[in-house]
Structure 1
Amino acid sequence: MDAGGELLLNICSDDTAEPIDIDALLRGEELSKKGKDKSTAIECDDSSEDSSQETDRIFPKAVMIESDQDDTNGGNDNERKLQSAHQQSPLRNEGIVPLPPNKTAADGLPLGEASVPQLKTKLKLEGILYERGKSKPDSQFKDKQRTTRKDPFDVEIELPAPASGDEEQPRVDLRLFSDDDFSKLNIHPHLVNCIRDRLKITVATVVQQKSIPHLLARKDLLIKSPTGSGKTLAYAVPIFHLLMLEQPKIKRETGTRVVIITPTRELALQTYQCLETISNACKWIVPGVLMGGEKKKSEKARLRKGMVIMIGTPGRLIDHLHHTSVFGFKTADWLVIDEADRMLEMGFEQNISQIIQAWKREREGYQSNAVLLSATLTPGVEKLAGLSLSNPLLIDASSECQNALDNFVLPESLEQTFMICPTKLYLVALSSMVIRGAIQKDKIIVFLPTQGVVDFYLNLFSGVMSEAFLEAGYKVNFYRLHGTMSQSDRIEVFNQFRGRESGVLFTTDVVSRGLDLPRVDLIVQLSLPLSLQDYVHRVGRTARIGMKGCAIIMLMPCQAKYLNLLAKKHIRPRQMPMRGVINYVKTLRDYLSRKNPSFGLKTAEDYCAALHLTFEAEVKREPELLKLARNAFTTYIRSAASYPLDLREVAPFKELHLGHVAKMFCLSDPPRALGAKAPRHIHNENKTRFANAKAARSIATKRKRISEYDSGLEPSKRQRKAQIKKNIKQRSI
Structure 2
Amino acid sequence: MADDGMDLNINFSVTAPPPVSHNPLSVKGGRWTERLKAKRATKNRLARSSKPATDAPPESNRRSAANSSLKRKRPGDNSGEPRTTKPPPGADGTFVSSLWTGNPEAVTTAEERVEETTPQEPSNAPLADGSSTFTTLGLSPILANHLTTKLGLKAPTAIQRSAIPDLLSTDSDAFIQAQTGSGKTLTFVLPIVDRIMRITATEGRRSGLYAIILAPTRELSQQIYTVLQSLVHCKNGPHWIVPGQIKGGEKKKAEKARIRKGMNILVATPGRLLDHMETTESLRLDAVRWLVLDEGDRLMDLGFEEDINKILNILETRNRVRPDDGPLPNKRVTVLCSATMKTNVQKLGEKSLKDALYIKAEPTEEGGEEASEESKFTAPAQLKQSYVIVPAKLRLVTLYATLKRAFIRQTAKPKILVFFSCSDSVNFHYEVFTHKDAPEADTKSKNQHNNKHSKSTNDSKSSSTQADKSQKNVPAASPAVQLRNDILLHKLHGSLAQDVRTATLASFTKTKNPAILFCTDVAARGLDLPDVDLVVQFDPPFSPDDHLHRIGRTARAGRDGKAVMFLLPGPEEGYVDAVLKKGIREGQLSRAEADTVIEKGLAENAKEKRRDWEDRATEWQLNVERWIMDDSATKDLASKAWTSHVRAYTTHVGSEKAIFNHKALHFGHLAKSFGLRETPSSIKAPSADAGKGGKGKAGGKGKRKFDMDDISEQAGDEGMKKMRQMARAMERKGGLSSEFNIG
TM-score by length of 2: 0.66
* Partner in structure 2 of residue 324 of structure 1: 280
Please give the secondary structure, in 1, of the residue aligned with 2:303. coil
Deviations 1:587-627 (A, max 9, x none): 789xxxxxxxxxx9952211111110111122123332211
The percent identity for this pair of structures is: 33
* Partner in structure 1 of residue 566 of structure 2: 554
Is 1:453 the counterpart of 2:425? The answer is: yes
**Is the CA contact (8 Å cut-off) linking 1:212 and 1:234 kept in structure 2?**
yes
Is 1:377 the counterpart of 2:341? The answer is: yes
Is 1:417 the counterpart of 2:386? The answer is: yes
* Partner in structure 1 of residue 315 of structure 2: 359
| Structure 1 unaligned spans of 5+ | 1-149, 590-599, 692-733
Q: How does 1:250-329 map to 2 (within 5 A)?
A: 250-280=203-233, 281-329=237-285
Summarize the Cα distance change of 1:159–1:407 in structure 2 as closer, same or farther, 3 Å threshold: farther
**Is the CA contact (8 Å cut-off) linking 2:480 and 2:489 kept in structure 1?**
no
* Partner in structure 2 of residue 204 of structure 1: 156
* Partner in structure 1 of residue 599 of structure 2: 583
**Is the CA contact (8 Å cut-off) linking 2:479 and 2:488 kept in structure 1?**
no
Is 1:611 the counterpart of 2:627? The answer is: no
Summarize the Cα distance change of 1:303–1:667 in structure 2 as closer, same or farther, 3 Å threshold: same
Name which of 177, 186, 189 aligns with 1:236.
Answer: 189
Is 1:508 the counterpart of 2:520? The answer is: yes
Shift of 1:686: 5.3
Is 1:181 the counterpart of 2:133? The answer is: yes
Deviations 1:130-183 (A, max 9, x none): xxxxxxxxxxxxxxxxxxxx9999954326999xxxx9xx99973632232212
Q: How far apart are the structure 1 equivalents of 2:604 and 2:687?
A: 38
**Is the CA contact (8 Å cut-off) linking 1:446 and 1:524 kept in structure 2?**
yes
Q: Which has the larger Rg? A: 1
Q: Give the superposed CA RMSD.
A: 3.2
* Partner in structure 1 of residue 458 of structure 2: none
Is 1:349 the counterpart of 2:305? The answer is: yes
Shift of 1:643: 3.4
**Is the CA contact (8 Å cut-off) linking 1:523 and 1:550 kept in structure 2?**
yes
Please give the secondary structure, in 2, of the residue aligned with 1:275. helix
The one-letter code sitting in structure 2 at the alignment partner of 1:564 is: D
**Is the CA contact (8 Å cut-off) linking 2:299 and 2:305 kept in structure 1?**
yes
Please give the secondary structure, in 1, of the residue aligned with 2:156. strand
The one-letter code sitting in structure 2 at the alignment partner of 1:395 is: I
Summarize the Cα distance change of 1:397–1:683 in structure 2 as closer, same or farther, 3 Å threshold: same
* Partner in structure 1 of residue 50 of structure 2: none
**Is the CA contact (8 Å cut-off) linking 1:438 and 1:475 kept in structure 2?**
no
**Is the CA contact (8 Å cut-off) linking 2:215 and 2:295 kept in structure 1?**
yes
The one-letter code sitting in structure 1 at the alignment partner of 2:397 is: V
Please give the secondary structure, in 1, of the residue aligned with 2:266. strand
Shift of 1:647: 1.9
* Partner in structure 1 of residue 145 of structure 2: 193
Please give the secondary structure, in 2, of the residue aligned with 1:190. helix
* Partner in structure 2 of residue 687 of structure 1: 693
* Partner in structure 1 of residue 173 of structure 2: 220
Q: How far apart are the structure 1 equivalents of 2:483 and 2:494?
A: 34
Q: How far apart are the structure 1 equivalents of 2:302 and 2:694?
A: 24
Shift of 1:198: 2.7
* Partner in structure 2 of residue 710 of structure 1: none
* Partner in structure 2 of residue 573 of structure 1: 589
* Partner in structure 2 of residue 595 of structure 1: none
The one-letter code sitting in structure 2 at the alignment partner of 1:512 is: A
Please give the secondary structure, in 1, of the residue aligned with 2:284. coil
Q: How far apart are the structure 1 equivalents of 2:105 and 2:610?
A: 23
Q: How far apart are the structure 1 equivalents of 2:567 and 2:651?
A: 18
Q: How far apart are the structure 2 equivalents of 1:376 and 1:282?
A: 34
* Partner in structure 2 of residue 462 of structure 1: 434
Q: How far apart are the structure 2 equivalents of 1:272 and 1:410?
A: 26
**Is the CA contact (8 Å cut-off) linking 2:392 and 2:673 kept in structure 1?**
yes
| Structure 2 unaligned spans of 5+ | 1-99, 323-330, 438-462, 464-477, 698-743
TM-score by length of 1: 0.67
Please give the secondary structure, in 1, of the residue aligned with 2:624. helix
Name which of 675, 679, 683 aligns with 2:681.
Answer: 675
Summarize the Cα distance change of 1:557–1:358 in structure 2 as closer, same or farther, 3 Å threshold: same
* Partner in structure 1 of residue 552 of structure 2: 540
Please give the secondary structure, in 1, of the residue aligned with 2:193. helix
Please give the secondary structure, in 2, of the residue aligned with 1:202. coil
Q: How far apart are the structure 2 equivalents of 1:265 and 1:471?
A: 31
The one-letter code sitting in structure 2 at the alignment partner of 1:563 is: V
Summarize the Cα distance change of 1:172–1:636 in structure 2 as closer, same or farther, 3 Å threshold: farther
Please give the secondary structure, in 1, of the residue aligned with 2:505. helix
Please give the secondary structure, in 2, of the residue aligned with 1:293. coil
Summarize the Cα distance change of 1:561–1:187 in structure 2 as closer, same or farther, 3 Å threshold: same
Deviations 1:481-517 (A, max 9, x none): 1111111111111111121243111111111111111
Count of equivalent residues: 524
More helix by share: 1
Shift of 1:678: 5.3
Name which of 333, 349, 354 aligns with 1:390.
Answer: 354
Please give the secondary structure, in 1, of the residue aligned with 2:245. strand
The one-letter code sitting in structure 2 at the alignment partner of 1:448 is: F
Q: How does 1:701-712 map to 2 (within 5 A)?
A: none
Deviations 1:211-256 (A, max 9, x none): 1100111332110001110001111111111111112035101211
**Is the CA contact (8 Å cut-off) linking 2:214 and 2:268 kept in structure 1?**
yes
- Structure number with higher relative contact order (C-alpha < 8 Å, ≥ 6 residues apart): 2
Q: How does 1:644-655 map to 2 (within 5 A)?
A: 644-655=653-664
Q: How far apart are the structure 1 equivalents of 2:564 and 2:581?
A: 19
**Is the CA contact (8 Å cut-off) linking 2:212 and 2:292 kept in structure 1?**
yes
